[in-house]
């Protein structure tokens, strides 16, 4: 049975059903409201759990069996251990050994460490991934090697889908750097310490069954409880949940590329000139080399003026910690620690707080942190002449990476995309994005090494930069400049079948990705 | 026996925006083209078409043409291809990509040369955006930064860069090689509207005259009225002793630069942060330049991560009388620019003097005075220079006197 393709409000063709479930096409920003009551997991009773609180079972295999692992189940994992994660693959190795088929994997993100799972996409152990697809997983999906249709959601969209029942998690497997026998767990201690666990909250609250996997069993109580044992069914102790050197970088470093530094400097200046960077502002930037440099320049500007931003949401790195400790940032709200300095800061600094994405990005939340942000620094693989953005596919049509928090972050007051005008020979500004992930009406500024383009609808910003000496251009001028150097790239060729659906933050389908014709 | 296979360009995991072209001549069988490219799905057809066109242009009929491409822009591919053609001795023709109209600007003797950014001559990735970093000049280097085996291909690459890459108004400079090779380099680069030639390890007035004469012969008709200035680089004890003669060698010499790495080696000593070992050389060179009415330019500062060290270095350089410095990383540009710029005390004083001079002239006074103090004409001239400099660097507005309160 194949789905019908219909045109959504953004003009993109999307399927009306995905993996046999009806799907709502994107209606426009802020136009869709799922109704009814939130999804709820089955009612547990404490009499079914050991009175002595000891939920430790002898292996992950046993825990999965006790959870009733069977064909077609949905297994969720999270990505705090990033490229050092050893648990996700373990689950599917065990499932494969038991001959289980058609699982749905709901990771909060995937990493190169998960590349071996490609073989389970091909042999049918995994029916589909609902999450992010990087590297070889993305290639396999784009080439039509996965049975089901992938669904890509933002971090907030993942919480939304779990809360409104679009996704039902059968088993959540949560790798935790420290846990006690009751299932309370935390992330600052243990050989695989990753700092915080900002992505697992919806998983443990809404899954039918919850397994905590740790390599550092501590006496009760394990504090601070980032995972509350009252939601946990089983605790498993393994030798190692992760490879520490790949979980957090020893140190994150600012880019040394002159062009990226130039982009970073322009971005910081832009924020200063327009008044977004001011005493008391809220800001968020990523952990890429350019973002770090932007943070560094902003720190210098604030320091020189004796000002401080009120809060920074992260993705935390040593550079944000430096801002906190040198007084240019008053609070860090942290969903994920990127380096060892960030991990250490959580225990050291009272104003460095654990803050799950559950509270920052979720569509079914009574308000969100992201819409309060004054400055939002994001990346993109492509931006088009209508300021639409793409972060999931490469210009050659291959699925490249997940959405992460990108769509959620578009709700900030000022969304700024510092991007190079071209990468190698590949232009970033295109006529029309290969895949629509973020509507142009939400993207305000594109900053490249060759000039700054402001979305014409932001008359206030256009006004604020007058006479600033910043190199302003139209997005058409920027595109023409890149095209003159690079030439126009050929568009990818597709087959008819949809291999992935891209969800908007409210659960509607904003675009679809088709199988490549190669 | 003639060569049947040759290659040019670079490949490897760290190479970006470049390519390697390999051509193997065959006796028959026509043209076979092999494209391996990082951007093949997007530009594979374009690359294939370009290689076919280049083969036609050079009359290449029976050969295996291979490219290993890391996202090279078309002008890079063309330069690499032509280099292989020259190695194989297939054709003497030059393949000249279109000259960007915005690259046809000229220069003036008296412009500021605070910063000149060195770019290794065979690394396209560093060249594409070089003009964005705001240096007064951009040096495309054929000398020390290019491996001996790559010298010929660098010439063609630089030739194409001068035609195809917008340098955004930076003075277009080339550092040629020493001796005969340097004179040969001129044939490739001078027709491309070069503004200034750096002559390395300069010790001889005679050689500078030869360079000057060769330049005059190599100029393209379109740019024959554009001056091509010379900046000899003093890098030896003899060069230092010759400084004044070199400064006066031809009217096209606009500056002398000092290269301290080679100079200290020539002295048999080591370069230090304080630079006491080169003090004499630097004094002497500054003096020679001032005596000849040209600009003295200081050596590069090689620790690119040490911005504080760079700042100190520029301060002492400025104090000695230098009027510029080389940059080996774009991040050094703003620091050097800022340090050579007049500080607020200098600027205050200059504004007072210039203002008094203008007021004095209005009042028909023959002499300028500030309070009870008489101001000599050379002092006024220097103050005007400082003001113009500040205007050019956007430190003050060109109509600064409109709101000036003395």
How much is the pLDDT for A269? Answer: 96
Q: How many CA atoms lie within 13 A of B168 on its CB side?
A: 15
What confidence tier does A73 reach under pLDDT thresholds 50, 70, 90? very high
Q: Find the residue in B nearest to A254 (Cα).
A: B305
Give residue-wise pLDDT tens across range A232-262: 999 999 999 999 888 877 667 888 899 999 9
Question: Rounded CA gap, A298 and A309, in Å?
Answer: 10
pLDDT, mean of residues A410-437 = 96
Stated pTM of the model: 0.92
Given CB atoms, is A493 within the 8 Å cutoff of chain B? no
Q: Name the average pLDDT for chain A.
A: 94
How much is the pLDDT for A258? Answer: 92
pLDDT, mean of residues B93-109 = 96
Given CB atoms, is A395 within the 8 Å cutoff of chain B? yes
- Would you say A60 and A174 are in contact if contact means Cβ atoms under 8 Å apart? no
Residue of B16, B17, B41, B334 to mutate, testing the A interface (most A Cβ within 10 Å of its Cβ): B41
Chain A hits for B329, Cβ within 8 Å: 258
CA A473, chain centre distance (Å): 31
DSSP for B69-116, please give it.
ESS--HHHHHHHHHHHHHHHT-------PPPPGGG-----TTS--SEE
Given CB atoms, is A467 within the 8 Å cutoff of chain B? no
Chain B hits for A449, Cβ within 8 Å: 129, 132
- Would you say A138 and A399 are in contact if contact means Cβ atoms under 8 Å apart? yes
Judge whether residue B112 has pLDDT over 90: no
Chain B hits for A492, Cβ within 8 Å: 41
Point out the least confidently predicted range of A310-319, B4-13, B160-169.
A310-319
Distance from CA of A449 to the nearest CA of B (A): 7
Distance from CA of A450 to the nearest CA of B (A): 7
Note the ipTM here. 0.88
Chain A hits for B16, Cβ within 8 Å: 424
Q: Crossing angle of helices B332-340/B307-320, nearest 10°? A: 30
Give residue-wise pLDDT tens across range B155-182: 999 999 999 999 999 999 999 999 999 9
Give residue-wise pLDDT tens across range B340-383: 988 888 889 899 888 888 888 888 777 777 777 888 887 888 88
- Burial (CB count <10 Å: 0-12, 13-18, 19+), residue A431: exposed
Whether residue B129 and residue A395 make contact (CB cut-off 8 A), yes or no, is no
Task: Pick A359 or A297 by higher pLDDT.
Answer: A297
How much is the pLDDT for A2? Answer: 67
Chain A hits for B129, Cβ within 8 Å: 258-259, 262, 449-450
The closest CB to that of A469, out of B39, B133, B394, belongs to: B394
C-alpha distances (whole Å) from B93 to each of B56, B83, B162 are: 12, 11, 18
How much is the pLDDT for B389? Answer: 81
Reference A429, options A364, A375, A360, A480; nearest CA is: A480
What confidence tier does A338 reach under pLDDT thresholds 50, 70, 90? confident
Q: Where are the domains of chain B?
A: 5-88, 101-340, 344-403
Judge whether residue B392 has pLDDT over 80: no
Query: Which one-letter DSSP state was computed for residue A239?
Result: S
How much is the pLDDT for A256? Answer: 86
How much is the pLDDT for A388? Answer: 98
Question: Rounded CA gap, B196 and B177, in Å?
Answer: 14
Residue B332 has phi, psi (to 5 degrees) of -75, -20
Whether residue A424 and residue B331 make contact (CB cut-off 8 A), yes or no, is no
How much is the pLDDT for B209? Answer: 98
Whether residue A424 and residue B38 make contact (CB cut-off 8 A), yes or no, is yes
Whether residue A262 and residue B330 make contact (CB cut-off 8 A), yes or no, is yes
H or E element that contains B155: helix B151-164
The structure tokens 């396209």 sit at: B124
Judge whether residue B394 has pLDDT over 80: no
Q: Name the average pLDDT for chain B.
A: 93
How much is the pLDDT for B406? Answer: 67
Question: Rounded CA gap, A54 and B67, in Å?
Answer: 64
In A52-143, where does DSSP find H-type helix? 60-66, 87-97, 118-123, 135-142
C-alpha distances (whole Å) from A133 to each of A141, A294, A340, A401 are: 8, 28, 26, 5
Percent of chain B with pLDDT over 90: 79
Chain B hits for A261, Cβ within 8 Å: 330-331
- Would you say A502 and A150 are in contact if contact means Cβ atoms under 8 Å apart? no
CA angle A192, A197, A203 (to 5 degrees): 120
Q: Which fold has domain B101-340?
A: TIM Barrel (3.20.20)
First to last CA, chain A: 24
pLDDT, mean of residues A404-429 = 95
What confidence tier does A397 reach under pLDDT thresholds 50, 70, 90? very high
What's the CATH number for B5-88?
3.30.230.10
What confidence tier does A358 reach under pLDDT thresholds 50, 70, 90? confident
How much is the pLDDT for A250? Answer: 67
What confidence tier does A382 reach under pLDDT thresholds 50, 70, 90? very high
Give residue-wise pLDDT tens across range B287-320: 999 999 999 999 999 899 899 999 999 999 999 9
Whether residue B41 and residue A490 make contact (CB cut-off 8 A), yes or no, is yes
What confidence tier does B88 reach under pLDDT thresholds 50, 70, 90? very high
What confidence tier does A336 reach under pLDDT thresholds 50, 70, 90? confident
Whether residue B331 and residue A261 make contact (CB cut-off 8 A), yes or no, is yes
What confidence tier does A359 reach under pLDDT thresholds 50, 70, 90? confident
Judge whether residue B1 has pLDDT over 60: no
Whether residue A489 and residue B39 make contact (CB cut-off 8 A), yes or no, is yes
**Is A328 in a helix, a strand, or coil?**
coil
How much is the pLDDT for A507? Answer: 97
pLDDT, mean of residues A372-399 = 96
């Amino acid at each position: 049975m194949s789905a019908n393709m219909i045109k959504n409000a953004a003009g993109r063709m999307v399927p009306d059903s995905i993996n046999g479930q009806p799907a709502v096409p994107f209606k426009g920003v802020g136009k869709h409201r799922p109704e009814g009551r939130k999804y709820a997991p089955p009612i547990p009773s404490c009499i079914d759990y050991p009175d002595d609180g000891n939920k430790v079972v002898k292996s992950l295999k046993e825990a999965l069996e006790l959870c009733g692992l069977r064909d077609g189940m949905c297994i969720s994992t999270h990505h705090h251990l990033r490229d050092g994660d050893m648990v996700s693959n373990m689950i599917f190795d065990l499932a494969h050994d038991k001959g289980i088929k058609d699982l749905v994997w709901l990771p909060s993100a995937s990493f190169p460490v998960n590349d071996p799972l490609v073989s389970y996409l091909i042999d049918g152990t995994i029916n589909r991934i609902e999450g992010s697809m990087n590297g070889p997983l993305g290639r396999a999906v784009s080439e039509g090697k996965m049975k089901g249709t992938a669904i890509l959601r933002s971090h907030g969209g993942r919480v939304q889908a779990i809360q409104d029942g679009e996704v039902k998690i059968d088993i959540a497997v949560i790798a935790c750097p420290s846990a006690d026998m009751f299932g309370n767990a935390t992330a600052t201690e243990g050989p695989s310490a990753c700092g915080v666990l900002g992505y697992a909250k919806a998983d443990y609250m809404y899954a039918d069954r919850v397994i905590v996997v740790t390599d550092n069993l501590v006496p009760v109580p394990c504090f601070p409880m980032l995972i509350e044992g009252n939601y946990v069914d089983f605790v498993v102790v393994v030798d190692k949940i992760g490879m520490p050197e790949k979980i957090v970088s020893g140190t994150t470093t600012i880019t040394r590329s002159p062009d990226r530094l130039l982009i970073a400097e322009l971005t910081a200046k832009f924020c200063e000139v327009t008044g977004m960077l001011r005493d008391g502002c809220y800001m968020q930037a990523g952990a890429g080399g350019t973002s770090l440099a932007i943070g560094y320049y902003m720190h210098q500007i604030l320091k020189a003026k004796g000002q401080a931003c009120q809060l920074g949401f992260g993705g935390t790195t040593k550079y944000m910690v430096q801002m906190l400790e040198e007084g240019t940032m008053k609070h860090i709200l942290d969903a994920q620690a990127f380096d060892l300095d960030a991990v250490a800061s959580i225990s050291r600094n009272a104003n460095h707080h654990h803050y799950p994405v559950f509270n920052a990005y979720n569509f079914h939340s009574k308000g969100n942190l992201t819409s309060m942000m004054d400055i939002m620094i994001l990346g993109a693989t492509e931006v088009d002449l209508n300021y639409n953005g793409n972060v999931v596919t490469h210009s050659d049509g291959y699925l490249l990476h997940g959405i992460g928090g990108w769509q959620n972050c578009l709700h900030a007051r000022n969304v700024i995309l510092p991007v190079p005008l071209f990468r190698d020979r590949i232009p970033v500004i295109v006529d029309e994005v290969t895949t629509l992930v973020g509507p142009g009406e939400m993207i305000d500024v594109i900053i490249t090494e060759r000039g700054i383009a402001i979305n014409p609808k932001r008359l206030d910003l256009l006004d604020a930069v007058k006479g600033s000496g910043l190199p302003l251009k139209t997005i058409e001028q920027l595109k023409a400049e890149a095209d003159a150097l690079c030439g126009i790239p050929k568009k990818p060729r597709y087959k008819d079948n949809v291999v992935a659906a891209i969800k908007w933050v409210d659960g509607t389908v904003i675009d679809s990705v088709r199988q490549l014709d190669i | 026996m003639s060569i049947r296979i040759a290659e040019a360009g670079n490949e490897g995991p760290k190479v970006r925006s470049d390519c390697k072209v390999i051509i193997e001549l065959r006796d028959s069988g026509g043209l076979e083209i092999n494209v391996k490219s990082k951007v093949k799905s997007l530009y594979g057809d374009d690359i294939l078409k370009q290689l076919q066109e280049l083969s036609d242009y050079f009359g290449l009929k029976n050969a295996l043409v291979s490219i290993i491409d890391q996202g090279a822009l078309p002008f890079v591919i063309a330069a690499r291809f032509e280099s292989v053609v020259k190695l194989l001795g297939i054709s003497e023709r030059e393949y000249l990509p279109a000259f960007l109209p915005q690259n046809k600007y000229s220069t003036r003797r008296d412009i500021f040369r605070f910063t000149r950014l060195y770019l290794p001559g065979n690394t396209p990735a560093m060249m594409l955006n070089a003009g964005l970093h705001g240096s007064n000049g951009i040096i495309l280097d054929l000398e020390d930064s290019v491996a001996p085996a790559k010298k010929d291909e660098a010439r063609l690459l630089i030739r194409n860069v001068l035609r195809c890459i917008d340098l955004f108004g930076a003075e277009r400079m080339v550092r040629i090689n020493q001796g005969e090779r340097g004179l040969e380099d001129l044939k490739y680069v001078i027709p491309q509207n070069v503004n200034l030639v750096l002559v390395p390890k300069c010790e001889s007035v005679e050689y500078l005259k030869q360079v000057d004469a060769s330049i005059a012969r190599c100029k393209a008709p379109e740019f024959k009225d554009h001056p091509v200035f010379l900046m000899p680089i003093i890098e030896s004890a003899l060069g230092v002793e010759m400084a004044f003669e070199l400064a006066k060698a031809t009217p096209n010499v606009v500056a002398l630069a000092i290269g301290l790495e080679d100079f200290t080696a020539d002295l048999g000593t080591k370069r230090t942060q304080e630079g006491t070992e080169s003090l004499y050389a630097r004094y002497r060179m500054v003096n020679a330049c001032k005596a000849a009415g040209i600009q003295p330019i200081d050596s590069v500062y090689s620790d690119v991560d040490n911005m504080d060290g760079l700042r100190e270095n520029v301060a002492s350089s400025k104090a000695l009388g230098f009027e510029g410095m080389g940059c080996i990383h774009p991040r050094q540009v703003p620091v050097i620019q800022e340090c050579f710029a007049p500080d607020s005390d200098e600027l205050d004083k200059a504004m007072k003097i210039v203002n008094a001079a203008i007021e004095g002239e209005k009042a028909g006074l023959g002499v300028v005075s500030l309070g009870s103090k008489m101001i000599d004409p050379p002092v006024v001239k220097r103050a005007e220079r400082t003001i113009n400099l500040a205007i050019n660097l956007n430190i003050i507005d060109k109509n600064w006197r409109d709101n000036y309160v003395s």
